[in-house]
Structure 1
């Protein structure tokens, strides 16, 4: 395998280690791009079913057999399992000179692949900024999806070419920034899911039978506006031009009423995470509204006072005080 920056990956024999939601889909996408999937490993029944569905005809093998057959090894395993797996395969001499070793963990860079690199393999970390169902529905989502590529400068073009081949858009993320990159994605995507679930619960308690239908157009518009603004207004707490609602207006009375009804919700249902999340996010929104000059010092101070009192009161209740 050439590491010339101008080189393209060519047609490769791909081995998928970990046919979970990500591995099976990316293996299928690489196959559709003209590569050959030579083997896949899957421990659970679900993984084996994904191999049969997403990678029909591909043999189910043990991990060492997959690595032995592959020119490109795709490691799509849980974050905590990645380093021990790479090291263990290194101890047994499984890695091969010139072999591409690509992992899909967002939290780790290429350094976790050091045992493979020392054996002469080419290390790359390629992470899709996307959620996966593990079905063919995911293949369309890869088109235009951003993939973070991390690796030695000389081989980054290989990772970028692989991403382009499956329809994605590569962006180089430095090794030292990989943790922050992944924290940002997890904070945005995972906590958005929690936020929607909390809002839906409150709406159901308010008598709305179909909270998703109520939330979809509102949250869709808010998400579109805020992500568009994120690309044009720069960084920092002042970059929040899409913010609407009572905090952006400095409407202390409305925020105080929200805190009251959410505290009642928590008392009735045990959903103490809802007012806690509202308080934390409203505090962040207040500081960003102030930094962006949406509200003044007096309004921000009043809002933060109300929110701090609510937080302290909830803490006292939780401790039995």
Structure 2
């Protein structure tokens, strides 16, 4: 079902309007201090109904924003490459490690590697794609050195933070945006395609909301508005669902190899794909397996085998089994008369307390 969301201003061919549609592709010089990017509209013509404009005919349109990247990790170069396909122009990137430099060279060929201050000097739109714990110090340092100029779009991609972390940049006259792609990145060209339909957690001042959403849409994403105070909870949810999933899948593959399965990825692929699809469609109603059925004997056998062959996996199994039992019991999937024996097994195995 299509979601209702604010529609950003559009430029020609029905594309989301750039926050700097009047910027000349030939201009490499920064905008004069105190001059914000223009937000003028362009004449429009409609795309075919039902189509999603993205990355098409970019060569026929002038570059609208010069883009810089501070922190050439797995995310920054990918987003800059995606913006380039939408008609913007990457002009500078900073990176410290050799891996970062190789990544920038692969995704942004011919874009010079420079110091962070020089990135800001060259770019209208600056992507701060550094680790969460590094971001506040980076923003403060850029402001203290006068690198940030009025009217400059400063975008960070942290899931944890909203716009409050950019408050020093805002006081310096910058336009702050928090655009977090809800996607796991490899730092390769495949990520650019994965952005199609990817949700972005968007936090921005109300007057910049349409600009933020326009940038997300130009990268092929779907903007999802996240309140400033909800950012940590939002990020915790994504970490729980994505980061921990990788750990669970990796452990499952190790156990299957130990059990003699030659291609654990091939075995798990259809199973996990179906489980994910069912969970997204039905939530807790999709729970299956021995815990939700109350098969205490099977669960006890699992724990005994894990203690013997993979003791490092026992704690994770017990924690997830307890969480699954709680949810199955609360939603009427686990019969109360079977829950007692099951919870007894889990409690005796190392996790005390009642469900």
TM-score by length of 2: 0.80
> Is contact 1:54–1:136 with CA below 8 Å preserved after alignment?
yes
Mapped pair 1:280 → 2:312: no
Mapped to 1, the partners of 2:135 and 2:117 lie a distance apart of 15
Deviation of 1:228 after TM superposition, in Å, equals: 2.2
Corresponding residue of 1:185: 238
SS of residue matched to 1:241: helix
SS of residue matched to 1:304: helix
> Is contact 1:8–1:157 with CA below 8 Å preserved after alignment?
no
Corresponding residue of 1:242: 286
CA RMSD of aligned residues (A): 1.5
Superposition map of 1:55-134 within 5 A: 55-134=108-187
Mapped to 1, the partners of 2:341 and 2:175 lie a distance apart of 56
Counterpart pick for 1:17 among 58, 61, 70: 70
Structure 2 vs 1, CA of residues 305 and 170 (structure 1 numbering), >3 Å: closer, same or farther? same
Corresponding residue of 2:221: 168
Corresponding residue of 2:89: 36
Deviation of 1:257 after TM superposition, in Å, equals: 1.2
Corresponding residue of 2:195: 142
Corresponding residue of 2:47: none
> Is contact 2:200–2:221 with CA below 8 Å preserved after alignment?
yes
Mapped to 2, the partners of 1:96 and 1:121 lie a distance apart of 6
Mapped pair 1:255 → 2:299: yes
TM-score by length of 1: 0.89
SS of residue matched to 1:162: helix
SS of residue matched to 2:109: coil
Deviation of 1:207 after TM superposition, in Å, equals: 1.4
Deviation of 1:312 after TM superposition, in Å, equals: 5.3
Mapped to 1, the partners of 2:90 and 2:213 lie a distance apart of 20
SS of residue matched to 1:148: strand
Structure 2 vs 1, CA of residues 312 and 116 (structure 1 numbering), >3 Å: closer, same or farther? closer
Deviation of 1:301 after TM superposition, in Å, equals: 2.4
**What do the CA deviations read for 1:229-274 (whole angstroms, capped 9, x no partner)?**
24xxxxxxxxx011111112111111111111111113xxxxx331
Runs of 4+ in 1 over 3 A off after TM superposition: 5-8
**What do the CA deviations read for 1:273-296 (whole angstroms, capped 9, x no partner)?**
311111110111111001110122
Corresponding residue of 1:158: 211
Counterpart pick for 2:332 among 283, 293, 297: 293
More helix by share: 1
> Is contact 1:143–1:166 with CA below 8 Å preserved after alignment?
yes
**What do the CA deviations read for 1:289-312 (whole angstroms, capped 9, x no partner)?**
011101222222221111011015
> Is contact 1:287–1:300 with CA below 8 Å preserved after alignment?
no
Mapped to 1, the partners of 2:257 and 2:242 lie a distance apart of 23
> Is contact 1:72–1:101 with CA below 8 Å preserved after alignment?
yes
SS of residue matched to 1:21: coil
SS of residue matched to 1:171: strand
Deviation of 1:8 after TM superposition, in Å, equals: 4.2
Mapped to 2, the partners of 1:312 and 1:114 lie a distance apart of 44
Question: For structure 2, which runs of at least 5 residues remain unmatched after alignment?
Answer: 1-7, 10-16, 22-63
SS of residue matched to 1:58: coil
